[in-house]
Amino acid sequence: MLYYYLILFFIFGLIVGSFLSVVVSRLETGESILGGRSQCPKCKKKIRSYDLVPLLSFVVLKGRCRYCEKKISLFYPLIELATGILFALLLYRFSDIFTGANLYLFFGLHLIILASLVAIFFYDCFYYIIPDKVLVPAGLTTLVLAIINVLLAKRFQLDFFIYQPEIWNLVLGIIIGGGFFLLLVLISKERWMGWGDVKLGVFLGLFLGYPSILVALFFAFILGSIYSVVLLLSKKKKMKDAVPFGPFLVLGGLIALFAGKFIVSWYLGV
């Protein structure tokens, strides 16, 4: 039965990923996200509905536009596949941990969180900006539910975050996640980090809590450092060139979400 639901979550993730590709591509241009049919960026032809089947259409068309036969960017199948895999992985990792109302609340919230992180990852990769139009709504939703989870945990048996519903786990998550980057922004006068990193750090702290936020930051800096060194050694970037840090924060957050508790337990020898 689990594999049946995994397939459903994967397919649902592909569909959400297809929508996220529209979000990422249209936020920068200011086009309506909900209105207007998709079109080929090369020949501007409207894309038929049967050519918009997530992942499958890309394979059938061999990665080319049906009309102009120009190559379709790998961005579209990648964002669909990434979202599908993450949705299925969320079910596989947490399906036997939460029960009752907590199960539905956990998956309802964390599917939104994953979709937001995917959009932030790709948008920051392309435009070097962490989009407030994605981050702020997701962050406010998570904040409200996190406060509800903490305040009503004992009375209504609520527990739908990966950290224990204690106020200090939430507060420390926010302080460490956002405060660390706020300090870097103020010290460097925005040369090292931007305000988008501060807000993304707060967002990670909200749904990861303490101590998983430490895992997220650790892996974000490790992965970011490795990537930067590779770029420098390959001479694709210079020391003064900017490299977006948002994608590495997202990757660190995902590692902490799925494996943070195991990593902390291993480190503490528990």
pLDDT at 177: 95
Closest CA to 16 of 110, 81, 74, 97: 81
Q: Give this prediction's pTM.
A: 0.93
Structure confidence at residue 270 (pLDDT): 57
State the pLDDT at residue 65: 77
Query: Quick check: 14 pLDDT over 70?
Result: yes
**Model confidence over 29-67: pLDDT tens digits?**
777 776 666 777 777 778 777 777 888 888 888 888 787
Chain centroid to CA 128: how far? 15
Encoded tokens for 114: 């994953």
Count CB-CB contacts under 10 A for residue 39: 13
pLDDT tens figures, 188-224: 887 778 899 999 999 999 999 999 999 999 999 999 9
- Is residue 245 within 8 A of residue 220, CB to CB? The reply is yes
Map the chain to HEC letters: CHHHHHHHHHHHHHHHHHHHHHHHHHHCCCCCCCCCCCECCCCCCECCHHHCCCCHHHHHCCCECCCCCCECCCHHHHHHHHHHHHHHHHHHHHCCCCCHHHHHHHHHHHHHHHHHHHHHHHHHHHHCCCCHHHHHHHHHHHHHHHHHHHHCHHHHCCCCCCCCCCHHHHHHHHHHHHHHHHHHHHHHCCCCCCHHHHHHHHHHHHHHCCCHHHHHHHHHHHHHHHHHHHHHHCCCCCCCCCCCCHHHHHHHHHHHHHHHHHHHHHHHCC
Q: Is residue 242 over pLDDT 80?
A: no
Instruction: Tell me the per-residue pLDDT of 67-89, one tens digit each, with 9 for 90 and over.
Output: 787 887 889 999 999 999 999 99
Which among 205, 200, 212 is positioned nearest to 260, based on CA atoms?
212
Mean pLDDT along residues 100-106: 94
Q: In the prediction, which pLDDT does 64 show?
A: 83
Q: pLDDT confidence of 137, banded at 50, 70, 90?
A: very high
